[in-house]
Structure 1
């Protein structure tokens, strides 16, 4: 879980210093820095104050966290394949339905032929 990284990215996008966000959240810059680097555990209460200081909800934070923990192939199914397979998927997706059927027939013929490896 990279809660600290999400908080840091949000703070940096807002172009705010550690001190500014820490002050609004009722903590100090050193504490916030350790949280951002995942060197310090954070309570739900403090996390709520940090989110409020960054004008984000806990829901937003956890949705972003959930999105990061999913494997890439769940967000982009083609990412689970090697380069050649991804290229083949790209080519096939650009074909018309009749050309896809033709390509499928060719692939089946190649698969079913004897002596080819």
Structure 2
């Protein structure tokens, strides 16, 4: 098995669509398909992004190539609260990752403000979320 086959096997085993993984990676489905079929080799950065999009490690993919037993991966991307990531959350993660530290802080503060406004409109006191570590 080569790395492209390992990517395809993992993606299909997790029930992920080619287009969804490609979108999460920031590439098109044709490019990911060429990687999966072995017509194109992924760069290290692209391979890391593909693995992250499927919520597996690069080592998990190489373990398949080397025919080593690995623990099964989950089929949903999750955050620390065990909530599945929706498409809008994935898009937000991709956009957020491209921002500098100052802009990230602004996005976080804006999200907190929206949370407070929404809670006030519902008549529920807003839960204060601590800022992420720099």
TM-score range, shorter chain: 0.5 to 0.7
Aligned equivalents of 2:9 and 2:65: distance in 1?
12
Aligned residues: 68
1:56 paired residue number = 56
Are 2:16 and 1:7 aligned?
no
Aligned equivalents of 2:14 and 2:60: distance in 1?
16
Q: For residue 13 of structure 1, report the CA deviation from its aligned partner.
A: 1.2
Are 2:62 and 1:42 aligned?
no
Aligned equivalents of 2:6 and 2:19: distance in 1?
17
SS at 1:56 equivalent: coil
TM-score between the two structures when normalised by the length of structure 2: 0.48
2:19 paired residue number = 19
1:102 paired residue number = none
Unpaired segments ≥5 residues, structure 2:
69-134
Partners of 2:8 and 2:36 within 8 A in 1: yes
Find the structure with the greater CA-based Rg: 1
Within 5 A, what are the aligned runs for 1:26-37?
26-37=26-37
Aligned equivalents of 1:10 and 1:61: distance in 2?
8
SS at 2:63 equivalent: helix
Aligned equivalents of 1:13 and 1:59: distance in 2?
17
Q: CA RMSD in A?
A: 1.4
